[in-house]
Amino acid sequence: MRDDARYLRKARRPAPFPYPIMTRLPSVSLLLLTFALAATGVRSAEDRPNIVFLLADDQATYSMGCYGNPDVKTPNLDQLAKDGMVFDNHYDTTAICMASRASILTGKLEYKTGCNFEHGNLLDEHWQKSYPVLLRQAGYATAFAGKIGIEVCDEPKGKGRLPESDFDAWGAGPGQTNYETKKNKSMVKYAKEFPHSTLSYGAFGRDFIRDCAKGDKPFCLSISFKAPHMPDTPDPRFDEVYAGKTFQKPANFGREHGGHFSKQSQQGRQYERFISWGYADRYDEVMRRYHQLIHGIDQAVGMIREALKETGTDKNTIVIYTSDNGFLCGSHGYGSKVLPYEEASRVPLMVFDPRQPTAQGIRCEALTGNIDMAPTILAAAGVAIPEGVDGKNLLTLLENPDATVHESLPLINVWGPAACHSFGVVTRDAKFVFWPYGEPGFEPTEELFDTGSDGLELREESRNPQMAGMLEAMRKTYDDAVAKWKAESVPYHGYTRFSTIFDRHIPWNEKTKEPLK
């Protein structure tokens, strides 16, 4: 069993990079470089960068070589990491696909989009300020393929629709989509050559890039892979990649490393899926399929980057790769996602901007989140970022990797059984989670993790006298986040009441005057 901190890397503990790390230029050189780029007009309206945004579904950080796992084969993703910047403290503020995707598209936290399973669709007023809509209005050719994960409605609880007409090219579909390409209506033309959907999305991206290279518009290509989401049915053309492979388990694997977690966290399906999904007794078999699905993504990414190179658009195309949430894969005795723990909420992020040679082959430890994707893409395109956006422009970190864009980020779960609802805050070095549920048999519970020194969350520190200072500081950060929820949440889809549910100063019996589901 793996016991080194490199496997799930946290701040100040770099994972082994399989290639030399570029030395950062001094600030004077950065200024000279900025002036030089401005002189060449690379940031001018006439030469705006193309943008490729690639999103996996349920991909954990430990599924790639560039995040320190020698057991996997991800050559194209590792090359993207080598070419660009790798982010080591990137979190999805909601670790479930629908809400996370709404946050990615708009740059807003879940309680400001009002969008998640069991709550409601994304209102058109938010969609109209999403990065795809705003870029198209600004003259970009836009395309979307894969699992868009949201539907748009005109009023709260309204009937949802897919926003197909808001793109120049469409290869997306409703719901979870399907791994069989022929079952995805918008992708049928690729079914014969690429019967598994993952590579069909690579082909879609390749063709869109080739078409756009013939025109005079900048383009924004968004591809949202279904992989490696369950059901774990990988492309059989890659069956040999992990045939017979065994995988080292992380040091926090198994129920013996989850006894310090809250009782509330065990009430959702994440707990039973440690057994039902085979992590307990078929670990290697399950992980072969998981990693094979990701290898398919890796090959599709290779197709897309090859198309950029082939068309000569690679020198002016920003490539961003991340995931809508992570995956627990048996850590602490849990499966699936949703929970605020590291394997589910912390995800990969790589950004390659060929115009920034100082941001190639290095890692960034700044705290970043899924809400940063929309403002980063808009800033890259020179499009104004709408008011009310919670995310930040991460291009500033490409220029200065030591900068700070967030002091803290919230971690939200208001999906699933009420007992499993939680709210938390994470900084670069610490995490605080509050589990409010206090029905008979439960007590509202606080959890504190010193993630800067315990990235595997093997210790819960809220009762540790030596961590009293950290606990008080994180409680204040948490209380501020609850106050922000109370002040800024949408007045529909049931979000306003959660500012009371998550208030740790109000007794549980005072919170339940309204019936809980």
CB 184 within 8 A of CB 177: yes
Q: What is the pLDDT of residue 41?
A: 33
Between CA 323 and CA 341 the distance in angstroms is: 16
What's the average model confidence in pLDDT over 385-389?
97
Q: Per-residue pLDDT for 264 more than 90? A: yes
Residue 512 has a pLDDT of: 79
Better-scored residue on pLDDT, 193 or 514: 193
pLDDT at 1 over 70: no
The pLDDT value given to residue 180? 98
Residue 67 DSSP one-character state = G
What are the backbone angles phi and psi of residue 331, rounded to the nearest 5°? -60, 130
Query: Is this model's pTM higher than 0.75 or not?
Result: yes
Task: Provide the Cα torsion 81, 85, 91, 96; round to 10°.
Answer: -40
pLDDT at residue 515, rounded to an integer: 56
* Residue position matching structure tokens 């819960």: 460
- pLDDT of 140 > 80? The answer is yes
Identify the band that residue 95 occupies on the pLDDT scale cut at 50, 70 and 90: very high
Write b or e for each residue in 33-46: b if 16 or more Cβ atoms lie within 10 A of its Cβ, otherwise e: beeeeeeeeeeeee
Burial category of 178 from C-beta neighbours within 10 Å (exposed 0-12, middle 13-18, buried 19 and up): middle
Q: What is the DSSP letter of 517?
A: -
Share of the chain above pLDDT 90, in %: 89
- Position 2 scores a pLDDT of 39
CA atoms within a 13 Å half-sphere pointing along the CA-CB vector of 53: 29
What would the pLDDT profile of 469-490 be if each residue is shown by its tens digit?
999 999 999 999 999 999 999 9
pLDDT tens string 265-275: 999 999 999 99
| Helix (H) or strand (E) segment spanning residue 77 | helix 75-83
Average pLDDT across the chain, whole number: 91
Q: 50 pLDDT exceeds 60? A: yes
Gap between the Cα atoms of 46 and 131, Å rounded:
20
Looking at residue 389, its amino acid is V
204-251 pLDDT, tens per residue? 999 999 999 999 999 999 999 999 999 999 999 999 999 999 999 999
Asked if 374 and 391 touch (Cβ cutoff 8 Å), the reply is yes
Q: Is the CB of residue 267 less than 8 Å from the CB of residue 420?
A: yes
Q: What angle do CA 27, 33, 39 make, to 5 degrees?
A: 145
Q: What percent of the chain has pLDDT over 70?
A: 90
Q: Which amino acid, 488?
A: E
Q: Which residue has the tokens 């002189």?
A: 39
- Per-residue pLDDT band for 47 (boundaries 50, 70, 90) equals confident
Burial of 138 (0-12, 13-18, 19+ CB in 10 A): middle
438 contacts 444 by C-beta, under 8 angstroms: yes
Q: How confident is the model at residue 358, as a pLDDT?
A: 86
Three-state secondary-structure class, residue 142: strand
Confidence band for 35, pLDDT divided at 50, 70 and 90: very low
Yes or no: say if 270 and 337 are a contact pair by the CB < 8 Å rule: yes
121 alpha carbon, distance to own chain's centre: 19
Does residue 304 contact residue 223 with C-beta atoms inside 8 Å?
yes
Is the pLDDT at 88 greater than 90? The verdict is yes
Alpha-carbon distance of 381 to 44, in angstroms, equals 10
**136 close to 130: Cβ distance less than 8 angstroms:** no
